[in-house]
Structure 1
Amino acid sequence: MAASMLLCLTAPAAAQPTDNVQLNDGVPAQAEGVTVDQHLGTTLPLELEVVDASGKTVPLQTYFDGRRPVIVTLNYSDCPMLCSVQLNALTRSLNDVDLKMGDDFQLLTVSIDPDEATERIRETKQLYTDQVNKQPQAAEAWHFATASQSTITKLTDTLGFRYRYDKQTKQYNHPAMLAFVSPEGVISSYSLRVDFPPEDLKRSLVAAGEGTIGSPVDVIVMWCFSYDPNRGRYVATAWKLMRLGGALTIGVILLALTPYWIGKRRQSPQLAEPITDDPHTHEATTAFERKADE
């Protein structure tokens, strides 16, 4: 696909002989080094300070309360395409995910542009939270913030988010990334797609929540999934599914046999008569035995 796009951009208008044509399958110069190195298990530097959409300076710790997982995204308001594609897709999934923003999880979007103004980030927050109309707490649960270059550098390095500033276009070349972070600030998983199926979003949030969100059924279901860094999503694990299926089968069999075992025990005859110490009974037995001897 990339080679085709480059060919379309560089091909001459008139048809030319193709015997000696070589396609450029390399990575465009502006995209070199633009990637995400997944730092699973790494703790974010929660002491870093950002400026929220109201203009207040707060530490990252503000957004990690030890109870709710956090989705972290890195974008900027003047991004010409990728950020809007990514965040629009995210709003659609947030409307459909079977979890509640605010009650179950939060989001934090930090601008990678150190010159972005608070007023601009406030407008961006309004734009996207208004789209999440099925989540009543969207405005309170989705936080937008700006930061200094030193803070941005430390945060992006911790997340493994590799981007570049293009001086010619005055734009940032960056990947699409969602980082799912535990309530204590530990990176649990990533999504590196520009679309976010609601079921994938929920699995990643339940896993990042470490038992703090989701139903008992969700926790059991998540046991059957493992995070695949290459796909950037949770995938079903065959051996776990087989073990869970075997356990459920045994449980059903035991449940079905329980009434039979209970009924069988109640119907069992007494194996021995009770022994009595009544003297009259003993005398009658002795007399009967004496008469039999005569």
Structure 2
Amino acid sequence: MSSAGTRVAVVTGSNKGIGYAAVMELCAKFDGTVYLTSRDEGRGRKAMEELEKLGLHPAYHQLDIDDESSVLKLRDFLVDTHGGLDVLVNNAAIIFPMMTPREEFVESIRKTIDTNFYHTMRACKILFPILRPHARVVHLTSDDGHLLKISGREPEAAALRQRFCAPDLTEPELCQLMEEFIEAAKNGDYYERGWPDSVKEREDTWPNEGYIVSKVGISALTRTHQRQFDQDPREDLTVNCVHPGYVVTDATYQKGEKTIQEGAEAACWLAMQPPSSSANNVPKGAYVWHDKQLVDWVNGPLPSIY
């Protein structure tokens, strides 16, 4: 049954963790229909049942951002059922386990960049055309997504940072940076080329360079997307990225300082920003910390992750 005109929010990767908590928050406060999505329909339906027991009533749609046809089906469904989209929270992402063998390092980087960066960007290309005026887009990034995390050998790292923060950076140029990193990882000289080496910087960590670069890419993409929105004839489109904090999720091996509800708080705050006017100052293209403060993405400093 069509419900064109109803405001609509979609949270990607939301059958658990921060995405699940974002659905909870939006169901309680967003004036419209909230879609919980998941790659696996069974897990998604189970999450729906849990929310129903809490008195919350999200809608459901299967979504796997790694599968272009899945994103296209969601787009067509939203157009046919609602006529458009008002809120998009891009939460879906992957991070490889701490014990990923070193010989699988390059493969893990390729898969991480694909899902976290390329396939998120592709989902945006598919869904952005159906955004309605005053739509709000939120990309989940990380403290690892700050530009200063490009911290390899200098002056090569400084040159990379300059390219990432170029005021006219295009999507193809950003993709070129991703491919240069992947090539450097294959060659084993990524640190010498300016890219981060997490093990070199902290001996107690695991190789997560792919995650770092993918999230820096998403943070940079936020700025590029906002420039596109600023030129769009639809009124008042905004996109921001947010670091949710150190949250207890599967990705952190159930460690952390924040609950999933606390981790979703800033993202939902951005998702429900009111229409812009001379009377308010809605963030646009910003890098936002978990406590809702706007952080200088280029120069820092970084607040505490906690």
TM bucket normalised to smaller: under 0.3
Normalised by the length of structure 2, the TM-score is: 0.24
Q: Normalized per residue, which structure has more strand?
A: 1
Normalised by the length of structure 1, the TM-score is: 0.25
Q: Normalized per residue, which structure has more helix?
A: 2
